[in-house]
Structure 1
Amino acid sequence: MHKAGIADEIRERIRRGGVFDGLIPCETAHIVIDLQNGFMGKGQVMEVPMARTIVPNVNRISAALRAAGGSVVFTQHTVDDEAIRTWPIFFEHFCGRKRRTSYIEAFTAGSQGHALWPELDVAHEDLVILKSRFGAFVPGSSDLHVRLQERGIDTLIISGTLSHVCCDATARDAMMMNYKVFFITDANATTTDAEHGATLTGLASAFCDVRDTQSILGLIATA
């Protein structure tokens, strides 16, 4: 797993007890971001090797929250014709021409790359949400906000990949939509320690309560 890499002044703030005192499980959802074959499998177009190491922690959080009466949500990064048409800035400038075709094929619904990683524990009551942008809360990206509000959710636990892209984007928007957000240091992963550490520092400074898996399990257990 990544070294946490949080800036010293932010780390000191976390040591003082975090942002939130606790959580109410039935009002909490564990949002598992994009742990799909296209990001997880060896040799895949967007392989994030470190993401394979966080799966046990992701499963532990999901199991604990389910048992306490909370919700678990899996998002799947999804490319379709509408996404390509309405998001040309990404597909034409950031995706890269050489990788574009492979990327689209990998994350088209129904493809092997689009499927959730088989080592994830997914229960029948969990939600699976398709999203067409990095952030799940961007208008038009998904119906995540509506589905969470239907369940009375006001607190989110964020895990998944990539820390500094989809996980970061979802966490920031969630806080600005007035969700309490926990971002888990050892249940998120990206391509380098530097990118992961910068993400944790930025989120801890103004957006999220940044904790490790053991800490969030403790909050769930004592709720």
Structure 2
Amino acid sequence: MTDVAHHRWFIEPREIERQESRRGRRHAYEWLDPRRTALVVVDIVPFFAEESAYCRGIVPNVNRLAAELRHQGGTVCWVVPLDVDRADVVVEKTAPSAFFPGKCRLHDLLAQREITTLIVTGTVTNVCVEATVRDASTLDYRVILVADACSAPRDQDHNATLHVVYRTFGDVRSTADVPTLIDQGAPHARPG
């Protein structure tokens, strides 16, 4: 199969208004320090790619984010790999979340690199990706879920997770937003 699909994703205006009222701006994070940021790619494996046009549709966005973060000195982590660079971190997990204690060593590896911010992508949005985001948030990571670099079986499932993450566990951005956030947080762009 070579067909691809893209989710019709959105955050409800009432939720955007709520966040703007709470924090004084639309998004939780306005910049990322690439040296302390990791792209976490969850479960983009042949099974999902073969079965889901949505999964095939996100692969170019995931690869774009990986290339951009590598270029800026960040870390790329594959939770079960797809297109791996020698400098990337590769881990396996035995639970839905890549951060559940005792089920994956990702947290320890990121702590060694002093990573504080995660850009999360992958599949399935409302299962392993959401579980990973929730646990990462509980561990005090700054979490950004990339809406058009995640996939689920249906738009409703995908958008439900976007709502939950945006409301409680982190931020939701598009692939197009992330390079600007990284560039604004790169050493050359940050004062002192």
Q: TM-score, normalised by structure 2?
A: 0.87
CA distance in 2, matches of 1:49, 1:21: 32
Task: Tell me if 1:23 matches 2:38.
Answer: no
Task: Tell me if 1:206 matches 2:173.
Answer: no
Task: Tell me if 1:11 matches 2:46.
Answer: no
Q: For the Cα contact (< 8 Å) 2:32–2:184, is it kept in 1?
A: no
Q: For the Cα contact (< 8 Å) 1:25–1:68, is it kept in 2?
A: yes
Q: For the Cα contact (< 8 Å) 1:29–1:153, is it kept in 2?
A: yes
Which residue is equivalent to 1:62? 66
Which residue is equivalent to 1:157? 119
Query: Can you list the C-alpha shifts for 1:81-104, whole angstroms capped at 9, x where unaligned?
Result: xxxxxxxxxxxxxxxxxxxxxxxx
CA distance in 2, matches of 1:164, 1:124: 30
Which residue is equivalent to 1:216? 178
Shift of 1:21: 2.2
Shift of 1:177: 0.5
Q: For the Cα contact (< 8 Å) 1:5–1:196, is it kept in 2?
A: no
Task: Give 3-state SS (helix, strand or coil) of 2:148's partner.
Answer: strand
Shift of 1:122: 1.8
Task: Give 3-state SS (helix, strand or coil) of 1:191's partner.
Answer: coil
Shift of 1:6: 2.2
CA distance in 1, matches of 2:112, 2:147: 28
Return 5+ residue gaps in structure 1 as ranges. 42-46, 77-115
Return 5+ residue gaps in structure 2 as ranges. 1-5, 186-192
Q: For the Cα contact (< 8 Å) 2:37–2:115, is it kept in 1?
A: yes
Which residue is equivalent to 2:189? none
Structure number with greater Rg is: 1
Equivalent of 1:178 in 140, 159, 162: 140
What percentage of aligned pairs have identical amino acids? Answer: 39
Query: Can you list the C-alpha shifts for 1:51-89, whole angstroms capped at 9, x where unaligned?
Result: 10011110111111111110000002xxxxxxxxxxxxx
CA distance in 2, matches of 1:212, 1:21: 13
Task: Give 3-state SS (helix, strand or coil) of 2:55's partner.
Answer: helix
Q: For the Cα contact (< 8 Å) 2:16–2:26, is it kept in 1?
A: no
Q: CA RMSD in A?
A: 1.5
* Equivalent residue pairs, number: 176
